[in-house]
């Protein structure tokens, strides 16, 4: 960290730059292959994971918490998925305000295609990095998250 501002070396800028590069690449591929926007495919990923949980699904609120997406974004993605027949809602057993999202058979089929493709993309981009470098990288990312969330707490 220097004491003159050079945008090119300014960490928040670099982070945003790289993140956009990665996201745009992936977003384009997902739309082309599966007609899924990023929020939608995140929904699928979270719901697929949560189907193994005791409740057998995920609430929109849980999805928002885990992905830090706005609840409006989650709502819209959920509506789109239900309309496409990839997900269904069941009443939440303990709270009638809420629903549990789970995958339909069609949704599970799609997930079976989407997940390997995601991992393949990840490998293609990150193939040239060794495991230690990637581990250090993600560890730093998580430390940054923690630092900011702590700031937010503190105000």
Q: Which residues bind its own copies (CB under 8 A)?
A: 1-23, 25-26, 42, 45-46, 48-49, 66-68, 115, 118-119, 121-126, 128-129, 131, 133-134, 136-138, 140-145, 147-149, 151-152
Tell me the residue ranges of DSSP E strands in the chain: 87-91, 99-103
Whose Cβ is closer to its own copies: residue 53's or residue 140's? 140
Q: Strand pairing partners for 102?
A: 88
The least CB distance from residue 66 to its own copies, in Å, is 7
Write phi, then psi, for 134 (nearest 5 degrees): -65, -40
Task: Please give the size of the binding site for DNA, defined by CB under 7 A.
Answer: 22
Q: Is 36 in the site for DNA (CB under 7 A)?
A: no
Q: Is 43 in the site for DNA (CB under 7 A)?
A: no
Could you tell me which residues come within 8 angstroms of residue 74 by beta carbon, excluding any fewer than 6 positions away?
Answer: 39, 43, 60, 63, 64, 67
Write phi, then psi, for 103 (nearest 5 degrees): -80, 140
The least CB distance from residue 10 to DNA, in Å, is 17
The least CB distance from residue 63 to DNA, in Å, is 8
Rounded Cα distance between 122 and 43, Å, is: 18
Q: Is 38 in the site for DNA (CB under 7 A)?
A: yes
Rounded Cα distance between 69 and 64, Å, is: 5
Q: Which residues bind DNA (CB under 7 A)?
A: 37-39, 59-61, 69-73, 75-76, 78-79, 92, 94-99
């Amino acid at each position: 960290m220097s004491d003159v501002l050079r945008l090119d070396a300014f960490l928040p800028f670099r982070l945003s730059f790289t993140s956009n590069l990665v996201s745009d690449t992936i977003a384009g591929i997902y739309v082309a292959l599966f007609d899924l926007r990023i929020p939608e495919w995140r929904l699928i990923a979270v719901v697929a994971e949560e189907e193994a949980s005791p409740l057998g699904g995920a609430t929109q609120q849980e999805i928002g918490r885990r992905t830090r997406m706005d609840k409006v974004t989650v709502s819209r993605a959920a509506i789109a998925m239900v309309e496409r027949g990839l997900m269904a809602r069941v009443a939440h057993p303990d709270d009638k305000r809420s629903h549990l999202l789970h995958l339909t058979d069609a949704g599970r089929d799609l997930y079976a295609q989407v997940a390997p493709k995601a991992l393949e993309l990840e490998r293609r981009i990150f193939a040239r990095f060794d495991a230690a470098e990637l581990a250090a990288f993600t560890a730093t990312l998580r430390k940054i998250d923690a630092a900011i969330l702590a700031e937010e707490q503190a105000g």
